Each structure stands twice: as structure tokens, then as C-alpha cells.
Amino acid sequence: MGGAVARPAGAGSPKKVALASLIGTTIEWYDFFIYSTAAVLVFNHHFFPSFDPAIGTLLAFSTFAAGFVARPIGAIVFGHFGDRVGRKSMMVVTILIMGVATVLIGLLPTYATIGAFAPVLLVLLRLTQGFALGGEWGGAALMATEHSPNSRRGFFGSWPQAGVAVGLILAMTVYLPLDAMADDHFMAWGWRVPFLLSAVLVITGLIIRVQVAESPEFDRVKDVHAVVRLPIIEVLRTHPKQVLLVAGASLSPGIFFYLLTVYNFVYTQEAGGLSQSSMLILVIVTSAVGFVVTPIAGALSDRFGRQRLFLLGLALIGSLAFPLYWALDSGSYGFIAVCYVAATIAVYIPWALQPAYFSEAFDARVRYSGLSLATTLGNLLGSAIAPLIAGTLLSATHASISISLYVFVTAAMSFVCVLVLGRTNRKKAKQADSGIGTDNASGLRTPTYSE
């Protein structure tokens, strides 16, 4: 074993590490909402003014999509160094890159000032954000789960996911007073405020993250000299099935969440239902519900098993797909509110379990690369294109049941992936206990797998 490194008291505390992980996902989803809002309201005017308004808006949204394109590259790069250098350093680097890029967007000169360089710089900054985000979630999830005791891995692993709700609540809260500004003031400088305020979150996150200790499981990998030279190649060689199953399992929660928080804003306007402000308030309230549900679901998974609870969440998503759009079509605020709360609970149950459940699919030597690659692949195939697919289905059928069927079918697909992943995890655990597993062969403790 290598010599022990002195650590500040509490540096490896699961609570402190969970908080450090929470702040990253909070920034990620804060940025997600403020950027998507700015893309709709501002970017077409300030960065693509020479185009027809409709084309300008489309180009503005394409810069938003560019972030998703860069995520797989970030997943591979940060996964590589996360498995070779350490989880903590990557968690610090990703939040710094992400934060600087977000603040720079708030300081970016417009087309009127620097011409065609403005949209080019906007795309570059969005690509930078996506690059950092490709490695952010995997690092945060692993730090939270690998620092926690086996008996509470689901609970502490759920806290990075709670940042989703916190980020949305913060972003929407920031936009509420800006909504009351005069249009000319908002277009002139008000839109920059949310981006600049992200600096507060970034600085807070950096202070917390530099104080936490390295993952004990990564330290054990180093101690037995089991660090892999090319983690991404090793993952694809030894865990290809797990990569595909984790990607498939993540499809449904991601798709349903993006429909709830992004697409349905557009859908309610076209259906003549709720106003934009009513939907904004509804999403704020249900995000608060999601924040409460997340750690509860994580704790319950430690007691009853992650697979069982994950499957329950997917079953709820599939069953609520139809009532949700019946409610949105009805225009009844009460009916919509009840369905939205139920849908939020359904989506946050499997969402909360992803860090603990998915990380258990990969050996510690390649876990950062495997987890980041798999979830990024799931995002590309699910979350990133969910609003586009929903809009296309509605345009083709003129019936909301097509969207409901989309949600139902993807929930069924994820359900099957979770069942197969559970069997794969249990088989892997038995092999490790018999001395066949990769980690066991290296002298590393194999994590406990929850059914």
C-alpha cells in the first residue's frame, strides 16, 4: 500500500462530498434553463439579426444543441483522466470550465458590436460548456457514491440529482423579476444578469470541491497499481453491454423530464391551455417536490433495492404519459397540477437512483469513463432530441396521444434495459466473489450490488 495522505478533518465526509456534488448539477441545470430561455428571447435578435426571425430562432436553438454534441468528447476526455488521475481533480476542473464559459456568455459582445464573430464566439462557448458537462456528472456521481458507506450509497448518491431541482428553481426565481422589466432594458442588459450571477454558484462550488478528499475507491485502485492506461478502450472491451444497458435505462427518465420542463411550455401555448407564467410557477412548485422526492427515493433504494424502485418509477412514467396530456389538453389548472406533481414524482424516482445504480455496473478502474460515456449516450439518444421528436409527432398526427405513446414506448424500453442490467450486475457480483471479476483479481473490494 502507498503511504497515507493527510486529509483535513471531514474532507471525506459523505455529507460534504454530497454537497460538493450537488453544486455541480445545480450549476448545470441553472445554466440549462437560463440558456434555453435566452435562446428563445434574446439570441436570435443579438447574435443572428441578419436572418429572418424564425430562422434566427432556429439558429439560436442550434447553439443550444451544440452543447450536447460536445458532451461525448468531454465524457471521453474527463473519463480518461478521472480514471487515471482522480475523480476530485476532474470535478474541480469541470466546474471551473463550465463556470467561466457561462460568465463569458453574459459578457459576450453582440453582433451589432463585433459582427459575425459574435455568433461564432457564442457557439464556441456553448461547445465549451458541453465539453465540461460531459465529464461533470460522472465525476459528481462517483464522488458521492464512492465516499458513501454501502448501506447508504443510494441516499448519498441521490444528492447530485437533487441539483436538477435546485438549479431549475434558482434559474426560474432569477427570471421572475426580470420578466417585470421593460422590454428594452431586458434586451439591452437584463438578459446578461442570470449568466453573471452564475459566478456566485461557481465560486461557492470551487471552495467546497477543493476541500473534499479523493475517492477512497480510486485511492485503492492506485494503491494496487490497477490504473488502466486507456480507460475508454478498456470499457468498450470489457463493459460494452453495460454501456448500452445504462444508456437505455436512462432514456425514459431523461425524455420525460425534458418534456415536462421544456417542451410542454411550447405545447400549452399551442394547445391554448396555461399561460407561460402559470407554467413557470407550476414547474417551480413541482421542482420543489422533486427536490424532496430525490433523497427519499435514494434512502428507500438502500432498504428495498435500487432495481425494484427504478422499475416502479418507469412503470409510473409509462402509466402517467396519457393522463398528463389529457390534462394539458383540458386546460384545467387543477387537473394539470395534479398530473404534473404525479409525473414529477415518477420521473425523480429513477432519476435519484441513477448515480448509485449505474455506477455499480462498472469496475472502479474504468468507472468514470464507463458511467460518463453511457449516460452521455443516453442523453444524446433521449433527452437532447425529445422535444424535437415530440414536436414532430404532434405535427404529423395533430394528436397528443402520439406524444403519450412515445413516452410509453421509451418507458417500456428502459424497463427492459433495467431488468437485463440487474441480471448483468448480479452475475458480475457473483463472478467477483468467486475471484473471476476484474476488480477482485486486482485485489480491490468489489462494490455491493443492489437488486
Q: Do 149 and 247 sit in the same domain of this protein?
A: no
Q: Do 169 and 283 sit in the same domain of this protein?
A: no
Whole-Å CA distances, 289 to 122, 159, 343: 34, 14, 11
| pLDDT category of residue 404 using cuts at 50, 70 and 90 | very high
Q: Whole-angstrom Cα distance, residue 235 to residue 240?
A: 7
Q: Answer yes or no: is 147 within a domain.
A: yes
CA atoms within 13 A on the CB side of 38: 29
Q: Do 272 and 183 sit in the same domain of this protein?
A: no
Q: Answer yes or no: is 106 within a domain.
A: yes
Look at residue 5 and tell me whether its pLDDT is greater than 60.
Answer: no
13-27, 48-62, 394-408, 409-423: range with lowest mean pLDDT: 48-62
Question: Sign of torsion, CA 342 142 139 134?
Answer: negative
Q: Answer yes or no: is 3 within a domain.
A: no
What is the mean predicted confidence (pLDDT) over 370-394? 91
How many domains does the chain divide into?
Answer: 2
Q: Answer yes or no: is 214 within a domain.
A: no
Q: Do 123 and 227 sit in the same domain of this protein?
A: no
Q: Do 185 and 258 sit in the same domain of this protein?
A: no
Q: Answer yes or no: is 140 within a domain.
A: yes
Which of 165, 182, 208 is the endpoint of a domain?
Answer: 208
Q: Answer yes or no: is 344 within a domain.
A: yes
| pLDDT category of residue 433 using cuts at 50, 70 and 90 | low
Q: Answer yes or no: is 216 within a domain.
A: no
Structural domain boundaries, residue 339: 223-451
Q: What is the CATH number of the domain that holds 371?
A: 1.20.1250.20
What is the mean predicted confidence (pLDDT) over 108-120? 91
Q: Do 153 and 240 sit in the same domain of this protein?
A: no
Q: Answer yes or no: is 325 within a domain.
A: yes
Q: Do 315 and 400 sit in the same domain of this protein?
A: yes
Q: Do 17 and 90 sit in the same domain of this protein?
A: yes
| pLDDT tens per residue, range 278-323 | 888 898 899 999 999 999 999 999 999 999 999 999 999 999 999 9
